[in-house]
Amino acid sequence: MHPEELKYTKSHEWVRVEDGEAVVGITYHAQEQLGDITYIELPEVGRTVAAGETLGTVESVKAVADLFAPVSGEVVAVNEEAAAAPEIVNQDPYGRGWLVRLKLSKPEELETLLSAQEYEQTIKEE
């Protein structure tokens, strides 16, 4: 259910590494729990964040959830398409629904993230 090539956080973010950058989004499970996403607040490009820091928020008809940085780095891009049409995150959370690109400042932090199997176990324990 969750792509094997991605890394995950207990707070339901996913990470895909491309050319030294971490592409970040929320998991299928997270968007399913939130329901219809109505608004996404994303960080400014150029902002530096530490792992665990709040990057923005994802609002739905049910709740508002924080988006956390799974790794440290500089925000190099945000998904303006998803901000303008938040339903994209519900429709394609692992593709067009990505939210932020971070230039990795501490690549070793990737080792602390969960595999797909570990993430699925985390969901079962919730």
pLDDT mean across residues, the chain = 96
DSSP 25-85: EE-HHHHHHH-SEEEEE-PPTT-EE-TT-EEEEEEESS-EEEEEPSS-EEEEEE-HHHHH-
pLDDT at 1 > cutoff 90: no
pLDDT at 40 > cutoff 80: yes
What pTM did the predictor assign? Answer: 0.96
What domains can be seen in the chain, in order of their start residue? 7-107 (2.40.50.100)
Going by the DSSP 8-state scheme, the letter that residue 126 receives in this structure is -
pLDDT grade for 105, boundaries at 50, 70 and 90: very high
Inter-residue contact 89 to 26 (CB < 8 Å): yes
Bridge partners, residue 80, by sequence: none
